[in-house]
């Protein structure tokens, strides 16, 4: 059944009308294992590609690593109590594959599973629904040494790993997502080199795209055969627009970028076949020998929930002399990616909530019947404690979240089946190649002391959850 948001209504005498969300709408927060756990060498955890990459000179800001991060591995009980204080209904976290199997294959490490067992018990004990992501970019290094996501065996190993994690946690975890943002894993990891493993080979990137999607299919099938209640995947689609919709060259550029960013993932996942124009483009770089008969059918497993991570739209023009972004979008030479023209986050990403509404409408229209969930949305801003060390004022983040929640509400009122929203991120953390200099959290973390402080945005989000709707301006920050 499609969720229906209520129309704006008064929240108090003299206050402006504010949107409310459907009954049962899920409010949560999200994190990722390598970004918060720390304990990089404890209890049998093996090295991941991010352990290696962060130790490679020049790859991560100031040589930062995730060795300690937010020390969540040891502080999880306090962190869960903090989640309960915020009123979270759900918590999305990832499992570190290298904690479960040091080399990505072979014996299962019971001590690694023990940690997630304790975490899930703690969440359930506080009435918080755990949502597990099985892969959030931290591939065991041994698998990368064998080819990583360019190797079909990695996809096959993923299914074995998925079944092992389900075997320990499946009695308490209802919602399982296989992969987080395969676009980033494939293009940033194997083409641009900006993320681990740091390779720069477009042919490898397209092989990685396919094997990641195959891993989803094999993993989803394994989970469902083991008895999983709900299985999905999280993508980071971008709303791609031609800078001038009346200019044919801009429309063609938008179609190509949309193919590389969105349709190469959505179409095999939900339609059972890669788009013909995308495969033709891929042939410029690869013989596509990795695509075997029956693979697209394997990828096209039933999806109970499609996670959407959204941060910003993309505007493009067709310009023969434009350099494109061949690392992120192989073969995009001749395409100009428009620079932001308005407000941006600390990452330099444009702030355009309306792009989220249009993206959700597009996915709902193109793939009807697939329930959607915002599994990440948030922004980095350079906030820090003021004179009062126990307060962090982050009005820019509140404004960002307010606008994007209104965009979600707009999409629901237009018929999109959107079931919930997970803010990124619960707390400040290791922001990949940016190290610790970018802060996305609604909870401030002092990395030296590991002290957590609820930012004003966390107090505001707590009020959102309490009301199941957006507070009037100025409310929820007391």
What's the pLDDT tens digit per position in 267-322? Answer: 999 999 999 999 999 999 999 999 999 999 999 999 999 999 999 999 999 999 99
- Picking from 185, 182, 149, the residue whose alpha carbon sits closest to that of residue 306 is 182
Residues 6+ apart with CB under 8 A from 164: 100, 101, 108, 113
pLDDT value for 17:
73
Q: What is the pLDDT of residue 475?
A: 66
Q: Which domains does the chain have, with CATH numbers?
A: 23-397+404-453 (3.20.20.80)
Residue 331 has pLDDT above 90, yes or no: yes
pLDDT at residue 11 is higher than 80: no
Query: How would you class 217 by CB atoms within 10 Å of its CB: exposed for 0-12, middle for 13-18, buried for 19 or more?
Result: buried
CA 444 to chain centroid: 20
pLDDT digits (tens, 9 = 90+) for 441-465: 999 999 999 999 999 999 999 999 9
At 64-73, the pLDDT tens digits run 999 999 999 9
Instruction: Please say if the pLDDT value at position 187 is more than 70.
Output: yes
Which whole-number Å values give the CA distances from 313 to 239, 337, 438, 458, in the listed order?
A: 5, 11, 20, 25
- In this predicted model, what pLDDT tens digit does every residue of 55-114 receive, in sequence order? 999 999 999 999 999 999 999 999 999 999 999 999 999 999 999 999 999 999 999 999
Q: Among this protein's residues, is 376 annotated catalytic?
A: yes
Between CA 296 and CA 316 the distance in angstroms is 29
Q: Which of 122, 144, 296, 376 is catalytic?
A: 376
CB-based contacts of 474, cutoff 8 Å, min separation 6: none
Backbone phi and psi for residue 221, each to the nearest 5 degrees, phi listed first = -65, -40
What pLDDT is attached to residue 416? Answer: 98
β pairing state of 6-10 and 17-20? antiparallel
pTM: 0.97
The CA distance from 451 to 437, in Å, is 17
3-state secondary structure 184-233: HHHHHHHCCCCCCCCCCCHHHHHHHHHHHHHHHHHHHHHHHHHCCCEEEE
Instruction: Tell me the pLDDT tens digit for each residue of 150-171.
Output: 999 999 999 999 999 999 999 9
How far apart CA 383 and CA 438 sit, in angstroms, is: 9
The residue from 181, 249, 336, 431 that is catalytic is: 181
* Residue 404: Cβ-neighbour burial (10 angstroms; 0-12, 13-18, 19+): buried
CA distance 101 to 139: 11
Task: Kindly tell me the burial class for residue 393, based on how many C-beta atoms sit within 10 Å of its own C-beta (0-12, 13-18, 19 or more).
Answer: middle
Mean pLDDT over all residues of the chain?
A: 96
pLDDT band, very low/low/confident/very high, at 476 (cuts 50, 70, 90): low
Q: Looking at residues 204-227, what average pLDDT do you find?
A: 98
pLDDT band at 340 (very low <50, low <70, confident <90, very high): very high
pLDDT digits (tens, 9 = 90+) for 222-240: 999 999 999 999 999 999 9
Integer-rounded Cα radius of gyration of the chain? 21
Q: Give yes or no: 13 in active site.
A: no
């Amino acid at each position: 059944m499609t969720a229906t948001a209520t129309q704006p209504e008064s929240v108090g005498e003299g206050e402006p009308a504010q949107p409310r969300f459907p009954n049962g709408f899920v409010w949560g927060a999200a994190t990722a294992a390598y970004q918060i756990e720390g304990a990089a060498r404890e209890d049998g955890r093996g090295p991941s590609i991010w352990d290696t990459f962060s130790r490679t000179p020049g790859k991560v800001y100031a040589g930062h690593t995730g060795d300690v991060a937010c020390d969540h591995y040891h502080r999880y009980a306090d962190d869960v109590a903090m989640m309960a204080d915020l009123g979270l209904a759900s918590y999305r976290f990832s499992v570190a594959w290298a904690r479960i199997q040091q080399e990505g294959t072979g014996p299962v490490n019971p001590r690694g599973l023990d940690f997630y067992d304790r975490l899930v018990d703690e969440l359930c004990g506080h009435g918080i629904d755990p949502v597990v992501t099985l892969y959030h970019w931290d591939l065991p290094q041994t698998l990368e040494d064998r080819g990583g996501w360019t190797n079909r065996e990695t996809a096959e190993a993923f299914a074995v790993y998925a079944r092992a994690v389900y075997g320990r946690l499946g009695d308490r975890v209802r919602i399982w997502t296989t992969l987080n943002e395969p676009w980033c894993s494939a293009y940033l990891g194997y083409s641009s080199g900006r993320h681990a493993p740091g390779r720069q080979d477009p042919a490898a990137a397209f092989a990685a795209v396919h094997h990641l999607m195959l891993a989803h299919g094999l993993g989803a099938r394994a989970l469902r055969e083991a008895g999983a209640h709900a299985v999905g995947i999280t993508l980071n689609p971008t709303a791609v627009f031609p800078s001038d919709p009346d200019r044919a060259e801009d429309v063609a550029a938008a179609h190509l970028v949309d193919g590389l960013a969105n349709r190469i993932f959505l179409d095999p996942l939900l339609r059972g076949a890669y788009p013909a124009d995308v495969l033709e483009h891929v042939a410029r770089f690869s013989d596509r020998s990795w695509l075997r008969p029956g693979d697209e059918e394997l990828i096209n497993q039933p999806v109970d929930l499609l996670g959407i991570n959204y941060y910003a739209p993309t505007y493009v023009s067709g310009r023969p002399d434009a350099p494109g972004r061949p690392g992120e979008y192989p073969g995009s030479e001749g395409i100009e990616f428009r620079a932001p023209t308005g407000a941006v986050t600390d990452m330099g990403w444009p702030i355009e909530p309306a792009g989220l509404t249009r993206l959700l409408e597009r996915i709902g229209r193109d793939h009807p019947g697939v329930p959607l969930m915002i599994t990440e949305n948030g922004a980095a801003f350079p906030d820090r404690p003021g004179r009062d060390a126990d307060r962090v004022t982050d009005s820019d983040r509140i404004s960002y979240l307010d606008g994007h929640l209104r965009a979600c509400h707009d999409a629901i009122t237009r018929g999109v089946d959107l079931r919930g929203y997970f803010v990124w991120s619960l707390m400040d953390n290791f922001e990949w190649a940016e190290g610790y200099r970018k802060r996305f959290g609604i909870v401030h973390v002092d990395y030296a002391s590991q002290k957590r402080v609820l930012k004003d945005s966390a107090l505001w989000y707590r009020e959102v959850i309490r009301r199941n709707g957006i507070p009037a301006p100025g409310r929820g920050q007391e």
